[in-house]
Amino acid sequence: MLRGILALSGIVLVASAPCAAREFTRLAVLGDSVNYGVNPDYDPVVHGWTHMLLGVGGDPFPPTREATLHSLWPGMAALNASVSGSTAVQWAAGNSPYMNSVLAFQPDLAIVLLGGWDVINFMADGTITTAEKNQLFSSLSTIVARLETLDPPPYIILLTYYDLMDGYSQSLPLIYGRYRPLSPMTLEGNAFIRQLASERGCGVVDVYPAFLHHCYGRQFGDPTPLEPPYVRLPVSNLDIHPNTAGHEQIYLLVYDALAGLRREPERFTVETADLDKSGAVDGTDLVLLLSSVRERRTRPRSLLSFAQVWGMGTP
């Protein structure tokens, strides 16, 4: 193939070849109070990112969005199976009613954000043990494995967790001492979620960096707080749930990830012969060609292939 290109004196056609756009018909959301929609701006009424994604809005909530799940896949059935206060350990239990409701729904697309309440419960004594961490990580793995038992298995998207303390939990005063393990545990937990997604072929929506500097760190030494805050301030009113701005950020991240699945694959053509004007098509022209292709790539992990070479047919 390479020798054919180097000897070529005509036109090279190059096409991007990302994974084909996917069609889905049934979405299940698995989670705790965050996915359920608990929001301190509207407590005790729930309205969160899942409501925004499903097109639920209007007074007293923010206006209904045009960009919704159903603008991507019209007529798609959706189940928000999230249970406020539920833990990953509960979802992973052998006969979990939470998981059973999802499996009975038979989704072909699943979004998972779990583990927050596990960590909150673990921190009750101000520390998180290795055994507790392993229990959480094992539970998350089991949840993915249980979803994969469906035939066909759904495409699974895992969400990382935000850090309420913006990396400053170890600087907390004694009154908030139970939360001191939170920042390092959030980093460790999110690293496991990303690794799990990589090993099992799941998608990832990385909430953590989008929330960083938008939470309570501003009250505990964060020199670079960002606006708007994504939690209810001040910390004397500490609430682990995102406010409306925080839920909207998660909604935007999830919608963008879903739109990436829905978007048609991009195709482009690069025409080249003697790019460096040396009088011959050679290795330098190939380097220039590949550089041009890399600059035009717009999607991560797209596969580049030489789809057709003039005078050579399909490779």
pLDDT digits (tens), the chain, 315 positions = 433 333 344 434 344 444 456 789 999 999 999 999 999 999 999 999 999 999 999 999 989 999 999 999 999 999 999 999 999 999 999 999 999 999 999 999 999 999 999 999 999 999 999 999 999 999 999 999 999 999 999 999 999 999 999 999 999 999 999 999 999 999 999 999 999 999 999 999 999 999 999 999 999 999 999 999 999 999 999 999 999 999 999 999 999 999 999 875 544 444 455 556 676 666 665 555 555 544 443 333 333 332 222 232 333
Both 209 and 270 in a single domain?
no
No. of H helices and E strands in the chain? Answer: 12, 7
Class of residue 313 by CB neighbours under 10 A (exposed 0-12, middle 13-18, buried 19+)? exposed
Three-class SS state of 129: coil
Both 158 and 281 in a single domain?
no
Q: By the 8 A CB rule, do 213 and 168 touch?
A: no
Both 134 and 243 in a single domain?
yes
C-alpha 252/C-alpha 61 separation (Å) is 17
Both 196 and 288 in a single domain?
no
Say how many residues make up the chain: 315
198: domain CATH number? 3.40.50.1110
Both 117 and 51 in a single domain?
yes
- Residues with Cβ < 8 Å from 92, sequence gap 6 or more? 99, 138, 139, 140, 142, 143, 146
Total domains in the chain come to 2
Both 131 and 69 in a single domain?
yes
What does each C-alpha distance from 295 to 236, 270, 304 come to in angstroms? 49, 12, 12
Both 198 and 295 in a single domain?
no
Class of residue 75 by CB neighbours under 10 A (exposed 0-12, middle 13-18, buried 19+)? exposed
Using the 3D structure, point to which of 231, 247, 262 is the last residue of a domain.
Answer: 262
Range of the domain at 6: 2-19+266-309
Asked if the structure places residue 7 within a domain, the reply is yes
Both 33 and 94 in a single domain?
yes
- State which amino acid sits at residue 310: W
Both 123 and 214 in a single domain?
yes
Asked if the structure places residue 296 within a domain, the reply is yes
Both 97 and 198 in a single domain?
yes
